[in-house]
């Protein structure tokens, strides 16, 4: 029962502090976490693992968050998967651009902590199932 119902998320992030803290939080509440350090890796893992929710940073080396979401949305499955953006930028331009990609939530790192992110992940899972 546990393996079948266990939720999976993909975290696309290049900052080790945030990776560690969010991964610990998710693991504690029984969510499996895959980590990609840039958009390119993110696409690969996303299409292989088909996580329930994807959390992505925007500024990353090799492929940034916007390009990652754009490529993700080209996939049939990837079109529907809920994406939460977790960025340090809170400017209007980035937020509106991000929401145009169909992102589920736009979270600013300094405005939330890992507990908040976890509750958004849970919300996204529930809403995408319904």
Q: Which residues bind another protein (CB under 8 A)?
A: 15, 17-18, 21-22, 24-25, 59, 88-89, 91, 109-110, 113-115
CB of 1 to another protein, least distance (A): 26
Nearest residue (CB) to another protein, 27 versus 47: 27
Nearest residue (CB) to another protein, 25 versus 41: 25
Main-chain phi, psi angles of 101, to 5 degrees: -80, -5
Main-chain phi, psi angles of 35, to 5 degrees: -120, 135
- Bridge pairing between strands 53-56 and 32-36: unpaired
At a CB cut-off of 8 Å and minimum separation 6, what does 19 contact?
Answer: 11, 13, 35
Nearest residue (CB) to another protein, 109 versus 123: 109
CB of 4 to another protein, least distance (A): 29
């Amino acid at each position: 029962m546990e393996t079948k119902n266990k939720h999976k998320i993909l975290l696309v992030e290049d900052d080790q502090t945030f990776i560690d803290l969010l991964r610990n939080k998710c693991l504690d509440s029984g969510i499996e976490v895959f980590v990609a350090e840039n958009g390119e890796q993110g696409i690969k893992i996303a299409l292989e693992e088909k996580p329930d929710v994807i959390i992505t940073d925007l500024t990353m080396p090799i492929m940034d968050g916007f390009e990652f979401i754009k490529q993700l949305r080209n996939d049939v499955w990837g079109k529907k998967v809920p994406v939460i953006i977790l960025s340090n930028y809170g400017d209007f331009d980035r937020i509106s651009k991000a929401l145009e990609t169909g992102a589920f939530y736009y979270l600013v790192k300094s405005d939330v902590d890992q507990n908040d992110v976890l509750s958004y992940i849970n919300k996204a899972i529930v809403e995408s199932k319904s």
